[in-house]
Amino acid sequence: MAPVLEVSGLNTVFHTRRGLVRAVQDVSFSVEAGETLAIVGESGCGKTITALSLMRLIPQPPGEIVSGSVKVDGTDLLRLDDRTMRQMRGGKIAMIFQEPMTALNPLMTVGKQIAEMVMLHDGLPKAAAKNRAVEMLQMVRIPEPARRAKEYPHQMSGGMRQRAMIAMALACKPKVLVADEPTTALDVTIQAQILDLIGDLQREFGTAVLLITHDLGVVAETAQRVVVMYAGRKVEEGSVSDLFARPLHPYLRGLLGSIPRLGSARGLALSPDERLREIPGMVPALSDLPPGCAFAPRCAQADAKCHAQIPPFEAKQANHFAACWQA
Amino acid sequence: MLAYLIRRLLLMVVTLLGVSIAIFLLLRIVPGNIADILLDSAGMIDPAEKAKIVTDLGLDLPLPVQYWHWLSGLFHGDLGYSYVSEKPVIEEILPRIPITARLAGLALTFAICAGVPLGVISAVRQNTKLDYFLRILSLSGLSMPAFWLGLLILMACVKWFGSIPIYDRAPATFGAWLAMLAIPAASVGFRSSALIMRLTRSSMLEVLRQDFVRTAKSKGLSDTAVTYDHALRNAVLPVITTIGVETAFLFGGLIVTETVFNIPGVARFLVEAIRWRDYPMVQNLVMFIAIVVVTVNLIVDLLYMVVDPRIRLGA
């Protein structure tokens, strides 16, 4: 099956007073209809900038998408004029954001915010758009959708707002849904509900989902494939099962090692090597990256070559890629 | 909602009572009364004559009694008589109110129509040449006194047209009326528009950075829809407050402008009345201005509720 979303060679930079910040470097991936691809990494690794680059919502200036292509159904978004791009946004590729508290307009009813989108893309008249908004709210399992549609965001709970946000994003049945940390700001029980909801609607509409998250638990539950990013670059890519079973890059191994497991949570006696491991050091500043592998300063296995040359991103096993001299 | 309105109206009454006491006392602290000034200007001092005037006007009565006379008169709709013209105060004040109201209204319309859109443009085009130009323009608007700008405009009129529009109590056409008031309105409106513009700009910049603006963009809305439907409505609250303050100012603070343009409005009349220590005139004029101010404040607060559901629904 041809991928619905195909990103290749994406480079996004920010021109700042302290110099050029390469936020996204040579990032490529593709997502098929109905598939979920997760992009994981620590804060500041370029995940969100990648997502915003796809939507062409990088503030320009200081940001700039220097090169690459973002194809949705074969159309390269980066080559479109502003007007056509606006038709794609919300129509073909929609996004949900991390903070449901602040991502909705506080002065507009939730129903109107959804209806506005439907009127714009599907050309529905006002009354029909309002009905569609209520239907969408029902679809995201908001009780009493007709009443809730007339409410303002501040009258809803965080989970309910995120549902409304999802209803809005999916109102025009986009091909691609970019979900930027959709559950980070929510309680754990609500998190699971929201992830289930996204999964169900994805199956129903056949949407390709790009899930941006730092939470490996969320990845394991929802994604089929994973891209791991570090300091603006892809460092590993593969199926969820491969990555969790046989992580190749020391960074991913470090991430997996820093997840608490059930035994430790119960306070059982652990041998010293079973203690939670943390990755030493800090994420390097993107404006001041080392010449070789960006992870080398924090990597126990790094040698002279790692510090000198950037490792190529290549297949290490079948359908399992990594950028590491040691893997 | 109704309870809130009643509470606000009661508060208005208390405020106005406070204003009435303050203006009453302040006037009497100012040295000299109408008798002193009349006799001074006549160049003769006859103590018997002076005492007669003082007694006639009731200026020798204890202050609380004088205050009570004024206040009870107010409640009966009797504003008293002017010391100077000896006409009923109401007849003196009433014809001046529409003059000031028109001037203020026109200035305010100009200020809002210019200030809000320019502020939005300035914010949307932040740090472009247009933004710098508009910011310099607004800074000059704030720095330039209205009377000086007015004088400049008048001088320019004389130089280019050979005449200046003279104030006419009953202009023949609406056009003539507009032309007559346009210059003074623009010269005071310029300052207000500069204030409104700067505030709109900073408020918009604040809002444009917020997440929901990004959400609106991600929906595929046009820049115009994002700016005006989503951002401006969120940015407008502080602007409404300023417009309220400016309205209040325009109703009582245009002393110099009214003088420069020879417009017989409220503010100029007030200064005249203060000079003569015309207590009934001053007290009632100030009360009128105070009523305008508190009413405008109430309207501003009600507008808040209209614009922001979080205030209306008590978030």
Does A236 score more than 80 pLDDT? Answer: yes
Flag whether B23 is in a domain. no
Residue type, position A225, single letter: R
| pLDDT of res. B109 | 92
| pLDDT of res. B313 | 73
Confidence of residue A173 (pLDDT cuts 50, 70, 90): confident
pLDDT digits (tens, 9 = 90+) for A119-135: 888 888 889 889 989 98
Burial code of A177-201, b = ≥16 C-beta within 10 A, e = fewer?
A: bbbbbbbebbeeebbebbbebbeeb
pLDDT digits (tens, 9 = 90+) for A77-96: 888 888 898 888 888 899 99
C-alpha distances (whole Å) from B123 to each of B137, B203, B227 are: 14, 9, 10
| pLDDT of res. A272 | 53
Q: What CA dihedral angle connects B13, B17, B23 and B25, to 10 degrees?
A: -170
Closest Cα in chain B, distance from residue A154 (Å): 7
| pLDDT of res. A261 | 63
**Is the CB of residue A208 less than 8 Å from the CB of residue A175?**
yes
Of A30-44, A313-327, B104-118, minimum mean pLDDT range: A313-327
How many residues are recorded in chain A?
327
Flag whether B61 is in a domain. no
As a whole number, mean pLDDT of residues A217-234 equals 88
- The per-residue pLDDT of chain A, averaged, comes to 85
Burial code of B136-166, b = ≥16 C-beta within 10 A, e = fewer?
A: ebbeebeeeebbebbeebbeeeeeeeeeebe
Whether A104 and B310 lie within 8 Å, measured CB to CB: no
pLDDT digits (tens, 9 = 90+) for A130-168: 998 998 898 888 889 899 999 999 998 888 888 888 888
As a whole number, mean pLDDT of residues A93-120 equals 89
Helices (H) and strands (E) in chain A, counts: 12, 12
Higher per-residue confidence, B76 vs A177? A177
Whether B214 and A97 lie within 8 Å, measured CB to CB: yes
Question: B239 — contact with chain A (CB < 8 Å)?
Answer: no
Residues A65, A69, A70: CA angle, nearest 5 degrees? 95
Domain of residue B210, residue span: 96-289
Flag whether B233 is in a domain. yes
Does A171 score more than 90 pLDDT? Answer: no
pLDDT digits (tens, 9 = 90+) for B97-108: 888 888 889 999
Of A73, A47, A113, nearest in space to A206 by CA: A73
Q: Identify from A108, A118, A155 which residue to disrupt to test chain B contact, counting B C-beta atoms within 10 A and taking the largest count.
A: A108
Q: Identify from B127, B218, B237 which residue to disrupt to test chain A contact, counting A C-beta atoms within 10 A and taking the largest count.
A: B218
| pLDDT of res. B132 | 94
Does B49 score more than 60 pLDDT? Answer: yes
Flag whether B80 is in a domain. no
Partner-chain residue, chosen from B210, B217, B222, that has the shortest CB–CB distance to A102: B210
Structure tokens at A160: 């309910």
* Strands A314-317, A233-239: pairing kind: unpaired
Question: B230 — contact with chain A (CB < 8 Å)?
Answer: yes
**Alpha carbon distance B234, A80 (integer Å):** 31
Whether A95 and B313 lie within 8 Å, measured CB to CB: no
- CATH number assigned to the domain comprising residue B130: 1.10.3720.10
Q: Which residues pair with A226 in a beta bridge?
A: A38, A238
Does B89 score more than 90 pLDDT? Answer: no
| pLDDT of res. A267 | 47
Higher per-residue confidence, B173 vs A313? A313
Q: Which residues pair with A64 in a beta bridge?
A: A13
Please report the number of interchain residue pairs, chain A to chain B, with beta-carbon separation below 8 angstroms: 71
* Strands A208-213, A36-40: pairing kind: parallel
Confidence of residue B199 (pLDDT cuts 50, 70, 90): very high
Confidence of residue B131 (pLDDT cuts 50, 70, 90): very high
| pLDDT of res. B152 | 87
**Alpha carbon distance B88, B74 (integer Å):** 13
Does B249 score more than 60 pLDDT? Answer: yes
| pLDDT of res. B113 | 94
pLDDT digits (tens, 9 = 90+) for B253-299: 787 788 888 888 888 888 888 888 888 888 888 888 898 889 998 99
A97 chain-B contacts, CB cut-off 8 A: 211, 214-215, 218
pLDDT digits (tens, 9 = 90+) for B132-145: 999 999 998 888 88
**Is the CB of residue B220 less than 8 Å from the CB of residue B189?**
no
Does A276 score more than 70 pLDDT? Answer: no
Whether A120 and B221 lie within 8 Å, measured CB to CB: yes
Question: B212 — contact with chain A (CB < 8 Å)?
Answer: yes
- The per-residue pLDDT of chain B, averaged, comes to 85
Flag whether B170 is in a domain. yes
Closest Cα in chain B, distance from residue A95 (Å): 7
A86 chain-B contacts, CB cut-off 8 A: 220-222
| pLDDT of res. A265 | 45
Flag whether B309 is in a domain. no
Confidence of residue B65 (pLDDT cuts 50, 70, 90): confident
| pLDDT of res. A266 | 46
Flag whether B278 is in a domain. yes
Number of domains in chain B: 1
Q: Which pTM value belongs to this model?
A: 0.80
* Strands A225-230, A233-239: pairing kind: antiparallel
Higher per-residue confidence, A256 vs B113? B113
Helix (H) or strand (E) run with residue B178 in it: helix B174-208
Flag whether B89 is in a domain. no
